């Protein structure tokens, strides 16, 4: 865990400034691999909570972790770390580079960066998938839930809320029973 | 009104000030409400913000809106960074503010920055307060089976949402040199994140280079 609120603030500022589209991959690297504030499983679970809550999910994660370590002041430091520097940077970019958007080279570069951003998010997801074999539901049921969600969102394009509510409920019930069984046996 | 909004020492009438503050407040309030339903991040409410700023009020041109989203993608930070940029741009567009630019150009910049942070605060504050309350409530009960099962049950669902987001971004990239090179680049980046400890900025830089060389 971080030693001080300022360490927390700067850790999230560092994460934010490295994030070009795929912040989740950066958070995973920095917090789990480099700093060891969380285990892989803890990270995946906290990410799940941050993602289903309204609001930007990396900001939610910064806030949940900040709050966990240092109470509400930590929560504020986490959020500010995530957004303050990037806001100043984007305003400076808006003043200096806004016209660059119209150049073909900028668009070429953006396509490359977007393709990599998609890969970063996908890679972070692959790493999380790799840790599902220790999941209480077992790998097979997890993969069924995973595939159902993916098809509903990416293929059928159903509204998020109608996918999330029933599948979260099913996942909850199944996990609940699995934990109960683990307790009684 | 019971309270007086601050007046700054410039040659500018009350009418102009009330227009400037009212607009900032209107945007603040709209984003404030959207924040609470923005499940999956600020980008999920972008279509509604577009309707509000561009179509209904005409405070931004469609081009300016798209550029803000594009610029936010190029810049570091979470993907909600287009929000302060929109606040900034709306302020700079405002005719009321342009009246000031002759007498006090510095004031225009200050108000634009203020407008950017006001928009940022509006989109971050409500969802953060709600998340903070619920997360601390859940953390205090984290050993209970109900809470543990809730988090565990969500995990596979949420991983799928991440994959879906990756697919959506990949599909949104304009096709210039065919789909295949783009897919290859995305898959390569994903595998490198998954299997290696290569610094992620190298991947971004590699993507930029591949784009600049016209490969994707």
pLDDT digits (tens, 9 = 90+) for A66-85: 999 999 999 999 999 999 99
Contact A145 B156 (CB under 8 A): yes
pLDDT at A48 over 70: yes
Q: Are B25 and B114 in contact (CB under 8 A)?
A: no
- A vs B, Cβ pairs < 8 A, gives 369
Q: How far B90 CA lies from chain A's nearest CA (Å)?
A: 13
Is B145 in contact with A89 (Cβ distance < 8 A)? no
Residue A20's pLDDT band, with cuts at 50, 70 and 90, is confident
Q: Which residues of chain A make contact with B117, given a CB cutoff of 8 A? A: 87
Six token digits for residue B181: 């090179």
Which chain A residues contact residue B89 at CB under 8 A? 94
- Chain-wide mean pLDDT for chain B? 86
pLDDT reported for residue B200: 85
pLDDT of residue A4 exceeding 50, the answer is yes
How far the first Cα of chain A sits from its last, in Å, is: 34
Q: Which residue of A has its CA nearest to B127?
A: A55
pLDDT digits (tens, 9 = 90+) for B103-123: 888 888 899 999 999 999 999
The predicted pLDDT at position B14 comes to 67
| Least confident window among A47-61, B4-18, B87-101, B178-192 | B4-18
Does position B43 have pLDDT exceeding 90, yes or no?
no
Distance from CA of B202 to the nearest CA of A (A): 10
Q: Do A55 and B113 form a contact (C-beta atoms < 8 A)?
A: no
8 A C-beta contact, residue B87 and residue B119? yes
User: Do B196 and A185 contact (CB within 8 A), yes or no?
Assistant: no
Distance from C-alpha of B39 to C-alpha of A169, rounded to nearest angstrom: 17
For residues A138-147, average pLDDT: 95
Restricting to A residues 64-103, those with a Cβ less than 8 Å away from any Cβ of B are 64, 67-68, 72, 75, 79, 82-83, 85-87, 89-91, 93-94, 97-98, 101
- Predicted pLDDT at B210: 96
pTM of structure: 0.81
**In the prediction, which pLDDT does B6 show?**
54
pLDDT of residue B206: 95
Instruction: Indicate yes or no: CB of A86 within 8 angstroms of CB of B76.
Output: yes
User: What is the DSSP code (8-state) at residue A135?
Assistant: S
Say how many C-beta atoms besides its own lie within 10 A of residue B197's C-beta: 10
Q: How far is B1 from chain A (nearest CA, A)?
A: 32
Is B164–A115 a contact, with Cβ atoms under 8 angstroms apart? no
* pLDDT reported for residue B7: 52
Most confident by average pLDDT, A42-56, A94-108, B176-190: B176-190
pLDDT in tens, A81-115: 999 999 999 999 888 876 776 788 888 988 898 89
Is the model's pLDDT at B131 over the cut of 80?
Answer: yes
User: Using CA of residue B112, residue B114, residue B119, residue B124, what is the dihedral sign?
Assistant: positive
Partner-chain residue, chosen from B85, B176, B189, that has the shortest CB–CB distance to A119: B189
**Using a CB-CB distance cutoff of 8 angstroms, which residues of chain A are in contact with residue B79?**
21, 23, 56
Chain A residues within an 8 Å CB radius of B127:
53-56, 60
For an interface test with A, the pick among B34, B69, B114, B152 (most A C-beta atoms closer than 10 Å) comes out as B152
The predicted structure's pLDDT at residue A45: 86
Select the residue of A29, A123, A179 nearest B145 (Cβ to Cβ).
A179
Task: List, in sequence order, the alpha helices (H) in chain B.
Answer: 14-37, 46-50, 62-74, 82-93, 95-103, 105-140, 145-172, 179-195, 200-212
Interface touch A83/B35, C-beta < 8 Å: no
Residues of A in contact with B145 (CB under 8 A): 176, 179-180, 183
Chain B closest-CA separation from residue A32 CA (Å): 12
Query: Would you call B58 exposed, middle or buried from its count of C-beta atoms within 10 A (0-12, 13-18, 19+)?
Result: exposed
* Across A164-176, average pLDDT: 93
Test mutation, B163, B174, B195, chain A, max A CBs within 10 A: B163
Distance, in Å, from the CA atom of A8 to the CA atom of A25, rounded to the nearest integer, reads: 18
pLDDT category, B2, cuts 50, 70, 90? very low
CB contact under 8 A, A87 and B116: yes
Q: Which of B41, B8, B44, B5 is nearest to B23 (CA)?
A: B5
Tell if the CB–CB gap between A54 and B38 is shorter than 8 Å.
yes
A42-75 as b/e, with b when 16 or more CB fall inside 10 Å?
Answer: ebbbbbbbbbbbbbbbbbbbbbbbbbbbbeeebb
User: What average pLDDT does range B91-112 have in this prediction?
Assistant: 86
* The predicted structure's pLDDT at residue B77: 86
B95 Cβ contact list (under 8 Å, min separation 6): none
Higher pLDDT, B171 or A78: A78
**What ipTM was predicted for this assembly?**
0.85
- Predicted pLDDT at A107: 84
For residues B138-159, average pLDDT: 90
From B57's Cα to the closest Cα of chain A, the distance in A is: 22
């Amino acid at each position: 865990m971080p030693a001080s609120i300022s360490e927390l603030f700067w850790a999230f500022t560092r994460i934010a400034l490295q994030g070009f589209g795929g912040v989740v991959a950066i958070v995973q690297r920095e917090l789990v691999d480099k700093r060891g504030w969380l285990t892989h499983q803890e990270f995946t679970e906290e990410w799940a909570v941050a993602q289903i809550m309204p609001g930007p999910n990396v900001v939610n994660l910064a806030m949940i972790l900040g709050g966990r370590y240092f109470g509400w002041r930590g929560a504020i430091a986490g959020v500010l770390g995530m957004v303050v520097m990037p806001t100043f940077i984007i305003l400076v970019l808006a003043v200096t580079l806004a016209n660059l958007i119209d150049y073909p080279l900028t668009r070429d570069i953006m396509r490359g960066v977007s393709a990599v951003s998609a890969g970063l998010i996908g890679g972070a997801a692959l790493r999380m998938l790799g840790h599902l074999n220790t999941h209480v539901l077992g790998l097979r049921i997890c993969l069924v839930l995973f595939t159902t969600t993916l098809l509903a969102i990416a293929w059928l394009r159903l509204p998020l809320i109608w996918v999330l509510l029933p599948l979260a409920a099913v996942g909850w019930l199944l996990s609940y029973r699995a934990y109960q069984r683990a307790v009684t046996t | 009104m019971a309270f007086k909004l601050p007046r700054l020492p410039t040659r500018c009438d009350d009418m102009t000030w009330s227009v400037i503050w009212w607009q900032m407040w209107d945007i603040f309030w709209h984003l404030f409400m959207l924040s609470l339903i923005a499940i999956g991040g600020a980008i999920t409410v972008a279509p509604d913000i577009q309707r509000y700023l561009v179509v209904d009020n005409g405070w931004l041109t469609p081009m300016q809106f798209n550029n803000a989203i594009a610029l936010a993608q190029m810049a570091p930070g979470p993907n909600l960074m287009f929000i302060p940029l929109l606040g900034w741009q709306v302020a700079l567009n405002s005719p009321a503010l342009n009246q000031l630019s002759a007498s006090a150009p510095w004031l225009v910049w200050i108000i634009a920055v203020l407008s950017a942070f006001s928009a940022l605060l509006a989109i971050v504050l409500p969802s953060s307060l709600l998340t903070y309350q619920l997360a601390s409530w859940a953390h205090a009960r984290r050993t209970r089976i109900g809470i543990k099962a809730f988090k565990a049950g969500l995990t596979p669902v949420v991983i799928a949402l991440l994959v879906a987001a990756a697919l959506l971004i990949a599909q949104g990239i304009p096709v210039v040199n065919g789909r295949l090179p783009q897919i290859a680049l995305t898959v390569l980046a994903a595998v490198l994140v998954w299997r290696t400890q290569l610094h992620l900025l190298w991947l971004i830089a590699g993507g930029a280079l591949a784009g600049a060389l016209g490969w994707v």
